[in-house]
Amino acid sequence: MSSKTYFIRTFGCQMNEHDSERAAGVLESMGYRPVPDPARADLVLFNTCAIRENADNKLYGQLSALKPLKLADPGKTIVVGGCLAQKDQEGLAAKVPWVDVVYGTHNMGSLPRLLAQADSAELPVIEILEHTEMFPSALPARREVRHHAWVSISIGCDNTCTFCIVPSLRGPEKSRRPGDIVTEVRGLAADGVREVTLLGQNVNSYGRDLVRRGEAGEGRRNRTLFAELLHAVGEVDGIDRVRFTSPHPKDFTSDVFAAMRDVPAVCEQLHLPLQSGSDRVLRRMQRSYRSARYLDLVAEARATIPGVAISTDIIVGFPGETEDDFAETLRVTEAAAFDSAFTFEYSRRPGTAAVDLDGHVDPAVVGERYQRLADLTRRLSLAGNEAQVGTVQELLVEGPSKTDPSRVSGRTRTNRLVHVPAGPGVVPGALVRARLTRAAPHWLLGEVEAVLDAPAAPRPEPVLLPVLR
């Protein structure tokens, strides 16, 4: 077996984290071992994101940093995959000619073949496919954290949000069959995974394409396929926690809230992208819900799921956004009382419809609005966390705290980050009960009251999943 080494850097979203774990699995099944430093790796893979412009800039900066390494060691293989590779293709290879392989969003399974081709080629090997040949979930995985797994339930997106590059890069929505998803989750549970996050660009439209093609299988037709899937995944033995991201407010159905309430494993956590609180801006974004509908969903979630934590994505400075529009975003944000928010300055993405809209907002104005929104979301996050102090919560321990070596970090079912003192049994993968003692906007401190369930000893060898189609 080869003793070659690899290093993977992931840019962007959770879908990419999932894809990187698959790429790592593919490389390990070829005999590669991970190293923590690109300088020491025989193969460096960047899994790229194109959602916002700063991701582009970061990637090109980091690719430039690899040039001296490649010059010093021409045998080093440099691979760029993912959304930005799909978007820039030959342009990327021309800009950074020291890259060996460029592949897109649809063909990670071809990595072994592309690497073999690169071995015997002078020029970069570029392979960008229009359509997915197989779900990346069907590939072996090497998971970052042994007890957590990403599970992709659909890829692509049928929506046309005018700011978003995803549909043009990842294609139309394609759902995986429910049986394949459940089989994968069963395999994961047998392998020690106790938490899964179901991934799709719009989980609420999951399965529509299967129904269209008559491939949805037998099910209870009084629930949407996504609600049914939450039930099916939540019933898998050994899976304690099920999360999902992202839903779309226009397609959200009450049966999903009911599943979040009724299926014990499904966590009390909802990530519901708002994007803007202004109805005028939502219309220009081609997001077909309005702020009242959004706030109704928030109210329904809070009424149906006791203790639910709600997070969101918000874009500031979309073309044409006025001060009045932005005031609406502040109003809806305050009314929704988000527990956490990912806030973004609008980023111009060539190829998206928003580029041609009038009224592009002055960057200084965008920056100032961004700051006001960040101040508000920080205040709301702190208030949400402070309300938790004194409560007792179940934590799933992730690993050592990044800032305090005497503590370990874990997540509540609501996805709050909690740091607790290290102690016997308080190890990655353990479920513990902790009393929360102090709050900051983005974390809490706690004291462990009991270890509920410690994991079986970690297995050193890489994890290989069964191949599913």
State the nearest-atom distance from the C-beta of 240 to ligand SF4, in Å: 28
**Cβ 166 to ligand SF4, closest distance in Å?**
4
Question: Which range binds ligand SF4 by CB under 6 A, 23-31, 74-82, 159-167, 363-371?
Answer: 159-167
Q: Which listed residue (18, 248, 284, 416) binds ligand SF4 by CB under 6 A? A: 248
* CA gap 386, 379 in Å, rounded: 10
| Per-residue x/- track, 38-57, ligand 5AD (CB under 6 A) | -------------xx-----
Sole binder of ligand SF4 in the list 24, 166, 282, 420 (CB under 6 A): 166
With CB under 5 to 8 Å by kind, the binding choice for 244 among ligand SF4, ligand 5AD, none is: none
| Per CB under 6 A, 444 contacts ligand 5AD | no
Binding to ligand SF4 (CB under 6 A) within 169-228 occurs at: 201-202
168 binds ligand SF4 (CB under 6 A): no
The whole-angstrom separation of Cα 151 and Cα 136 is 10
Question: Distance (Å, rounded) from C-alpha 66 to C-alpha 60?
Answer: 10
From 325-333, 345-353, 363-371, 394-402, span contacting ligand 5AD (CB under 6 A)? 345-353
Assess 164 for contact with ligand 5AD (CB under 6 A).
yes
Does residue number 117 form part of the binding site for ligand SF4 (CB under 6 A)?
no
The residue among 158, 162, 226 whose CA lies nearest residue 198 is 226
Exactly one of 20, 107, 275, 291 binds ligand 5AD (CB under 6 A); which one?
275
- Does position 315 interact with ligand SF4 (CB under 6 A)? The reply is no
Give the Cα separation of 80 and 63 in Å (integer). Answer: 9
Which one, 51 or 265, has the nearer CB to ligand 5AD?
51
Q: Toward ligand 5AD, which CB reaches closer, 163 or 289?
A: 163
Task: Note whether 286 binds ligand 5AD by CB under 6 A.
Answer: no
User: Residue 344, interface with ligand 5AD (CB under 6 A)?
Assistant: yes
161 scored as a contact of ligand SF4 (CB under 6 A) = yes
Residue 309's closest CA among 334, 331, 341, 287? 341
Q: Which residue has the tokens 């060898």?
A: 461
Rg, the chain, Cα only: 22
Asked if 66 interacts with ligand 5AD (CB under 6 A), we say: no
Residue type for position 72: A
Read off φ and ψ for residue 21, nearest 5 degrees: -65, -35
Q: Which residues have C-beta within 8 Å of that of residue 364, sequence separation ≥ 6? A: none
- Which of ligand SF4, ligand 5AD, none does residue 252 bind (CB under 5 to 8 Å by kind)? none
Interaction between residue 155 and ligand SF4 (CB under 6 A)? no
Taken in order 251, 253, 257, 260, the sign of the CA dihedral is negative
Q: For residue 260, state whether it binds ligand 5AD (rule: CB under 6 A).
A: no
Among 4, 286, 347, 451, binds ligand 5AD (CB under 6 A): 347
Residue 248's binding partner out of ligand 5AD, ligand SF4, none, with CB under 5 to 8 Å set by partner kind: ligand SF4
Q: Smaller CB distance to ligand SF4: residue 202 or 381?
A: 202
| 216: partner contacted, choices ligand 5AD, ligand SF4, none (Cβ within 5-8 A by kind) | none
Tell me how far apart the alpha carbons of residues 46 and 78 are, in angstroms, rounded to a whole number.
Answer: 8
Cα separation, 276 vs 161, whole angstroms:
12
Q: Residues in the site for ligand 5AD, rule: CB under 6 A?
A: 13, 51-52, 163-164, 273, 275, 313, 315, 344, 346-347, 349
Q: List interacting residues with ligand SF4 (CB under 6 A).
A: 157, 159, 161, 164, 166-167, 201-202, 248
